[in-house]
A and B are shown apart, each in its own frame.
Chain A
Amino acid sequence: MLEDQEQHRPAIGAESRGEFEDPRSDPSDSSDRSEPDRGSSPGRDAWRRLRRNRLAAFGGCALLAVAAACLVGPLLSGFGYEQQDLGLGASAPGARHWLGTDTLGRDLLVRLLSGGRISLAVGLSATVVALTIGVVFGAVAGYAGSVLDAAMMRMVDILYSLPFTVFVILLTVFFGRNIILLFVAIGAVEWLTMARIVRAEVLALKRMEFVEAARALGFSRGRILFRHILPNVVGPIIVYTTLTIPSVMLLEAFLSFLGLGVQPPMSSWGVLIKEGAASMEEYPWMLIFPGGIFSLTLFSLNFLGDGLRDAFDVRSASD
């Protein structure tokens, strides 16, 4: 009925992936199955391919190291991120302050690590917001098909063409600069690509036999969509989530750099880069360390995302 119209559309990406033939191919439940099919689940295949990709492995390790340092580091340090030493002022990296201090005599290492907590937290939570909206929207549009699908995707097209950076700036200026608003605003911007990708996948999957079987068994639409179809889209979702995090973090740092994001004395990598850029002539380390660690994190996420894309053999459905 509803899906008659989609009957003749090409199944985007599905022909390149054998794993969709197994409806139970959710990577998360493959490990506790007892059949002797070890090494043949798509999740495990992807994991093996990922480990062989040196750049992606490097990215994953670097990311873990940065995240662990940000979580644990500030607890171990003798300095607080707000703790000033005005007599000392800005000092070069040395034995006492490993990465030096800023113009107010605050320890740069601690500010870098606790700023990392905020940057990573904003990155993760905004991505969760984007992920949730994008997956639900895309899945519903793709499964419903027909008029509803056309209307929903036209809406995504229109939203795509809006100058969202401009809106996020307006929001943060007018409604005060609090972090919650920041990541809701960013998340609300970044869901569009995810919606397109999930829709394309669902569109291809819903005509497969296992969906027909589920329908023949009389399952409800919601159950078919969320229990049977979506688990098969896990690969692309993981890949694009990994690639959304760096763009979210970039947007946060961009706003903080303009003075619209995280506010001092709290620190985030964007705030530190802003402070560093302001005094780089005299104290270049204030720019180099935050800029370096931020770039390293973005690198790692991009490498990891690319590696995951190859590992799951996801073709980009967005561009």
Chain B
Amino acid sequence: MLRFVTSRLLQSLLALYLIVTATFFMLRFVPGGPFATEKAVPKEILRNLEAHYGLDRPLPRQYLAYLGSLVRGDLGPSFKYSTRTVNEILAEKLPVSLELGLWSLLVALLIGLSLGIVAAVRHNTWADYAATAAGTIGLSVPTFVIGPLAVLALAIHAGWFSASGWDLPSDRVLPALVLGLAYAAPISRLTRAGMLEILHQDFIRTARAKGASEARVVFKHALRGGLLPVVAYLGPATAGILTGSFVIETIFQIPGLGREFVTSAFNRDYTLVLGTVILYAALILALNLLADIAQAWMNPKVRLE
């Protein structure tokens, strides 16, 4: 188990390093710098600006300097917001996106797991068909269609929620629901498939023969094995929820990391873009790592591979 965790951890760190390097050089080689504006900036000012941010030094030196400060956890100053550092901006935006992500994941798991378990236990009945159909519908209607429609129906016409913002507790409901529903669909499919496979196995028949109640069979015996595919999917799902929040934050005008990322990319705010990419990558890699470890913990076959 320790070997498994170590090798996965090293793999994640390597991936993170590759991302940092690729993004760093990509940003340096794209046409148009952060100070390229509509108005021509006088050469002296431009040179001063570049000197201030260390952009006049040779590229390898810049790269090493960036790596050095990154190791110390310093992401540098923002190019666009001259008085703020990237760390400050990310610290302000990240909690909002994390909260949205957590609520959405909760919605996705609650709905997805219950639909999937019901569909598997009531296999080939109307409940199964209804749950499966709902899953395919959820899989096909994109969040940026459901989102505006939900705002139109529930916020503007019914007036239950405010159409945008992130101030009241009730402002969390619509965004989390819309984002979570998108991931409830695949989760319910995986749960159904996983549970169906397990419920047909011999040890389940044995448990039933020994007189275990149906609830005990489903929740105590079948669930652990049946949820394996779901656990494997949680890493990618959480990554998807994080990047899915780009759209949700735009629709509901939530001041989170996703919207900041798109804005900073438009502004060519190199350090902010780089910092956001690194943060996203680190989060996603960490989540994938956790999902892998959880999977190995639940299924000895994986870690012995």
Known: A158-B14, A302-B140. A273 touches B145 (CB 8 A): yes
Distance, CA A231 to CA B85, complexed state (A): 56
Known: A165-B246, A302-B136. A276 touches B148 (CB 8 A): yes
Instruction: Give min CB distance, A245 to chain B, whole Å.
Output: 12
A210 on interface, CB distance cutoff 8 Å: no
List A contacts of B277 (CB < 8 A).
163, 166, 170
List B contacts of A253 (CB < 8 A).
142, 144
Are B12 and A161 in contact, CB atoms less than 8 angstroms apart?
A: yes
B266 on interface, CB distance cutoff 8 Å: yes
Identify the B interface with A (CB < 8 A). Answer: 11-12, 14-15, 18-19, 23, 26-27, 30-32, 136-137, 139-142, 144-145, 147-149, 151-152, 156, 190, 229, 232-233, 235-236, 239, 242-243, 246-247, 250-251, 261-262, 265-266, 268, 273, 276-277, 280-281, 284-285, 288
Distance, CA A255 to CA B8, complexed state (A): 32
* A interface secondary structure, majority: helix
How does the 8 Å CB contact mask read for A157-175 relative to B, with 1 for contact and 0 for none? 1101111011001100111
Distance, CA A129 to CA B136, complexed state (A): 26
Known: A166-B277, A257-B247, A258-B262. A161 touches B284 (CB 8 A): yes
Distance, CA A200 to CA B235, complexed state (A): 22
How does the 8 Å CB contact mask read for A139-171 relative to B, with 1 for contact and 0 for none? 000000000000000100110111101100110
Instruction: Give min CB distance, B175 to chain A, whole Å.
Output: 14
Are B152 and A284 in contact, CB atoms less than 8 angstroms apart?
A: yes
Indicate which residue in B140, B147, B151, B265 contacts A246 across the interface (CB closer than 8 Å). B140
Are B229 and A169 in contact, CB atoms less than 8 angstroms apart?
A: no
Distance, CA A147 to CA B27, complexed state (A): 34
Are A162 and B19 in contact, CB atoms less than 8 angstroms apart?
A: yes
Are A161 and B285 in contact, CB atoms less than 8 angstroms apart?
A: yes
Are B281 and A163 in contact, CB atoms less than 8 angstroms apart?
A: yes
Indicate which residue in B136, B142, B285 contacts A303 across the interface (CB closer than 8 Å). B136
20 contacts between A and B (CB under 8 A): A161-B285, A162-B281, A163-B19, A163-B243, A163-B280, A166-B261, A170-B27, A170-B265, A254-B142, A258-B262, A277-B144, A277-B148, A280-B152, A288-B149, A291-B148, A295-B142, A302-B140, A306-B136, A319-B229, A319-B233
Residues of A within 8 Å of B, CB-based: how many? Answer: 40
A14 on interface, CB distance cutoff 8 Å: no
Distance, CA A319 to CA B189, complexed state (A): 11
List A contacts of B273 (CB < 8 A).
170
List B contacts of A250 (CB < 8 A).
142
Are A170 and B23 in contact, CB atoms less than 8 angstroms apart?
A: yes
How does the 8 Å CB contact mask read for A41-74 relative to B, with 1 for contact and 0 for none? 0000000000000000000000000000000000
Are A161 and B246 in contact, CB atoms less than 8 angstroms apart?
A: no
List B contacts of A174 (CB < 8 A).
26-27, 30-32, 265, 268
Indicate which residue in A158, A161, A169, A298 contacts B140 across the interface (CB closer than 8 Å). A298
- Which among A163, A165, A175 has the greatest number of chain B C-beta atoms within 10 A? A163
Distance, CA A173 to CA B268, complexed state (A): 9
A299 on interface, CB distance cutoff 8 Å: yes
Question: Closest chain B residue to A316 by CB distance?
Answer: B193
Are B247 and A280 in contact, CB atoms less than 8 angstroms apart?
A: no
Known: A287-B152, A291-B149. A169 touches B11 (CB 8 A): no
Question: Closest chain B residue to A172 by CB distance?
Answer: B265
Are B144 and A273 in contact, CB atoms less than 8 angstroms apart?
A: yes
Are B19 and A298 in contact, CB atoms less than 8 angstroms apart?
A: no
Question: Closest chain B residue to A301 by CB distance?
Answer: B140
Question: Closest chain B residue to A173 by CB distance?
Answer: B265
